[in-house]
Amino acid sequence: MTQPQNKPSFNLRFLLVTALLALLAILFIYAIHYDGAFFSVILFSQLFVLAVLLYFRRYLEKEITEIHLKKEEYLEEINLLNLDLKKEELTRKSLFQRVEAYARLKSLAEKLSLCATHLQAAEILADRVSELFSGDRTTTLLYLSYPTTGDLGLVVAVKKGSRIQILSKKGDMFDAWVVKNLKPLLIESARTDFRFDAEKNAPLKDDREYASLIAVPLMVGVKILGVLRVDSPEEKYFSTDDLRFLSRIADLGAVSLESAQLYEHLQDLAIKDGLTGLYLRRYLWDRMSEELPRQLRRKQEMSLLMMDLDHFKKYNDRFGHVAGDIVLRTLSDLLIKHFQQPGNIVCRYGGEEFAVMLPDCSKTQAQALAEDFRAQIAQAEIVLRREKTTITVSIGIASFPSDAQIKEELVQKADQALYAAKQKGRNKVCLA
């Protein structure tokens, strides 16, 4: 700020002018009453006083000018201070928003860390994004990439906090652009964006319409796991800050999704056979321990099939062990397709022996399923070393609770029935 200069006081000058005027009045009175020659002195005195008044006027004008200048300086400083205050307020709000955003990310990270499956992680991620981006006016979509083909598949679609059905299961050209370029995408107008074909920019005929969107790739390193997208029926609904925030969420979500997938893979390695992809024996025993009490409470039957490849050794001796592995994988694929009812457990019991647990299935129903499968296997052709061959299976069936009361006894009864099928010439189904 400008410091005030040291000048004579305004009051001092005013007193001086007042004193001169008083002296002039005294001289004028003296000249009238005592000596007329004083009028000449009075005239010179008036001229002197006039000169002093003119000087005093110029001084006042200068003072007024300086006051105005100081006032303008003060106003300018006030404006600058107001601008600084506004900047500080904006900075404070920005910091508050960042703190709030990171708090939300921390909460999301804690929830994602508790997910045991990648589907559970995907649902939590989509739900949270829908909340953060005004779920009542937006639709959140999460696509995951199929490892074998690389195509996108819709996993979760959320609007107003609820799951919705979307016709476009593989995404549109905007999602394809994100996958191809591995970059975030902001579309202010889905119909007029110059980067895309205007004729194809119209949204698909879903139960919703969108005019703007943001989409980011879910990536870990150079590996893409899917696409996270939020769209709105309003144009220019999203900003670059929204896209940046969604990218941070996607980075966090991608790590959680990969961790969940790795955990599921480790679980599969622990309970599934590496050659056939079927469950292992210990998993079957664990599930039977859970299923038998449930069947007992519901007063339902449960059947167990024990199955063995007939003359499997001859395939290994004739065609080699690689051919034997092909036979085992072929049989496993057919087992999965034939017994794909929810709740059924198909496992590799050991070597060329397999087991199928059929909850809520009577012995009669199990026999019909087993006969159909036995006939299907007998008719199937397998090419081994450019030679067509066929395989057959023997099957034994036991049911709970009619044949056994505990899982060990149930397995034993089914195994005895399997042995009986072999004794009768193989390629047969026998009941306990």
pLDDT tens digits, one per residue of 95-120: 666 666 666 667 777 777 777 788 88
Say yes or no: 137 and 251 in one domain. Answer: yes
Establish if 111 belongs to a structural domain.
no
Q: What long-range pairs does 329-335 form, CB within 8 A, spacing at least 24?
A: 329/275, 329/276, 330/380, 330/382, 330/391, 331/377, 331/391, 331/393, 332/276, 332/277, 332/278, 334/373, 334/376, 334/377, 334/380, 335/278, 335/307, 335/373
Establish if 4 belongs to a structural domain.
no
Supply the range of the domain harboring residue 384. 279-431
Peptide bond into 401 cis (omega under 30): yes
Number of domains in the chain: 3
CATH code for position 308: 3.30.70.270
Packing angle, helices 10-33 and 38-113, rounded to 10: 160
Establish if 170 belongs to a structural domain.
yes
Domain final residue pick, 219, 238, 270: 270
State whether residue 308 is helix, strand or coil: strand
What's the confidence (pLDDT) of residue 364? 92
Q: How far apart are CA 30 and CA 33, in angstroms?
A: 5
Q: How far apart are CA 155 and CA 145, in angstroms?
A: 10
Q: How far apart are CA 166 and CA 143, in angstroms?
A: 12
In the block, tokens 């006081």 appear at 9
Establish if 105 belongs to a structural domain.
no
Say yes or no: 36 and 63 in one domain. Answer: yes
Say yes or no: 264 and 331 in one domain. Answer: no
What's the confidence (pLDDT) of residue 149? 79
Show which residues are catalytic: 352
Say yes or no: 256 and 136 in one domain. Answer: yes
Say yes or no: 308 and 371 in one domain. Answer: yes
In the block, tokens 């292992």 appear at 280
Establish if 65 belongs to a structural domain.
yes
Establish if 289 belongs to a structural domain.
yes
Establish if 301 belongs to a structural domain.
yes
* Cα–Cα distance list, 173 to 187, 190, 195, 201, 344 (Å): 12, 11, 11, 8, 39
The candidate with the shortest Cα–Cα distance to 328, out of 397, 385, 377, 398, is 377
Tokens of 233: 């029926």
Domain final residue pick, 270, 304, 330: 270
Say yes or no: 318 and 369 in one domain. Answer: yes
Let me know: does 230 contact 240? Beta carbons within 8 Å.
Answer: no
* Cα–Cα distance list, 259 to 115, 117, 125, 255, 265 (Å): 9, 9, 14, 6, 10
The candidate with the shortest Cα–Cα distance to 306, out of 426, 423, 417, is 417
What's the confidence (pLDDT) of residue 101? 64
Say yes or no: 152 and 213 in one domain. Answer: yes
Say yes or no: 208 and 335 in one domain. Answer: no
Show the low-confidence residues of the chain (pLDDT under 50). Answer: 1-4, 6, 204
The candidate with the shortest Cα–Cα distance to 114, out of 104, 100, 125, is 125
What's the confidence (pLDDT) of residue 6? 46
Burial class of residue 104, CB neighbours in 10 A (0-12, 13-18, 19+): middle
What's the confidence (pLDDT) of residue 18? 75
- The tally of CA atoms less than 13 A away on the side-chain side of residue 388 is 4
Say yes or no: 298 and 257 in one domain. Answer: no
Say yes or no: 203 and 306 in one domain. Answer: no
Helix (H) / strand (E) element for 356: namely strand 353-358
The dihedrals phi and psi of 307, each to the nearest 5 degrees, come to -135, 140
Domain final residue pick, 210, 245, 270: 270
Say yes or no: 425 and 285 in one domain. Answer: yes
What's the confidence (pLDDT) of residue 347? 92
Q: Tell me the per-residue pLDDT of 54-99, one tens digit each, with 9 for 90 and over.
A: 777 788 888 888 888 888 888 888 888 888 888 888 777 766 666 6
CATH code for position 136: 3.30.450.40
Say yes or no: 383 and 416 in one domain. Answer: yes
Establish if 408 belongs to a structural domain.
yes
